[in-house]
A and B are shown apart, each in its own frame.
Chain A
Amino acid sequence: NAGVTQTPKFQVLKTGQSMTLQCAQDMNHNSMYWYRQDPGMGLRLIYYSASEGTTDKGEVPNGYNVSRLNKREFSLRLESAAPSQTSVYFCASSGQGASQPQHFGDGTRLSIL
C-alpha cells in the first residue's frame, strides 16, 4: 500500500525555469492538498482540491498553479521559479469528514538557484 507518492524527491532549478511536481494517492480520497515547509515555519497550504475538478487557493498560492487530473492525481506547477520558492513541498490526501487525518507523501526537496 503506497499511500501518497510524490515525484521527484529532489530537484534543482535555475531562476525562471518551470517545473511540475507530481502527486498520486491510492486511498480513494476525495481531498488533496499541496503544502510547503520552510525552516522555522509551520506547514503552509498552497492549494487544496476537495474533489476531482475543483481547486481552491490556500494561504500562499502566488507563483503556483495546480491541476486535479483525476481522483488519484494532483499536480503542482511552478511556471517561473524564483529563489523564494526554494522549499520542501508536501502533498497530502484525506477522506471525507472534518476529523479525518491527512496522509502525507515524503516530500519534494526543491532548490532554485
Chain B
Amino acid sequence: KNQVEQSPQSLIILEGKNCTLQCNYTVSPFSNLRWYKQDTGRGPVSLTIMTFSENTKSNGRYTATLDADTKQSSLHITASQLSDSASYICVVSALSGYALNFGKGTSLLVTP
C-alpha cells in the first residue's frame, strides 16, 4: 500500500530560527513529490514539486530535498517568520494513475 509518513507531527520554534520537516514514502513507482503549505481555514498551496531526477528545489526561504533511493524528502525553512505557522503536507504521486498520496502533515507554530 502506498504510504506517506511525516515527522514530526507538530513543531514549535522561535521566530528567526530554522527548521526541517521530514517525509518518508513507500509510493512506487515514483513520479513526483510535492510540498504544500496549508494555513488554518484555507486550502493547501503548492510550495515545490520535484521529479525523480531533482534532488533539491527552492522557493524563497523554503528548500525541499529528495533522495529517491532512500525514499525520503525534507523541507527546510530558513529564518522562520510568524506567517510560516501552518500545516506542511508532503504529497507523493505514483507513475500509474492520477491519484496523489497525502501525508497527514506537520503542524508548525512559529512564536515571537
Residues of A that sit less than 8 Å from B by CB: 4, 31, 40-45, 48, 50, 56, 58-59, 90, 92, 98-99, 101-107
Contacts and interface: CB of A to CB of B under 8 A. Distances in A.
Interface stretch (B14-22, B60-68, B70-78, B101-109): B101-109
B43 A106 contact: yes
B100 A59 contact: no
A59 B2 CA distance: 12
Contacts of A90: 43-44
Contact of A40 (B44, B100, B104): B104
Interface of B: 4, 31-32, 34, 41-46, 49, 51, 89, 93, 95, 98-105
B89 A42 contact: yes
A99 B51 contact: yes
A105 B105 CA distance: 18
Contact of B99 (A59, A92, A99): A59
A102 B46 contact: yes
A16 B34 CA distance: 38
**In the complex, which of the residues B45, B51, B98 has the most CB atoms of chain A within 10 Å of its own CB atom?**
B98
B46 A31 contact: no
In the A-B complex, list the 9 residue pairs whose CB atoms are closest, starting with the nearest.
Answer: A104-B43, A42-B102, A101-B46, A43-B102, A106-B43, A104-B44, A42-B104, A99-B32, A106-B42
A102 B41 contact: no
A58 B99 contact: yes
A98 B43 contact: no
A4 B43 contact: yes
A92 B99 CA distance: 13
A50 B43 contact: no
Contacts of A101: 34, 46, 49
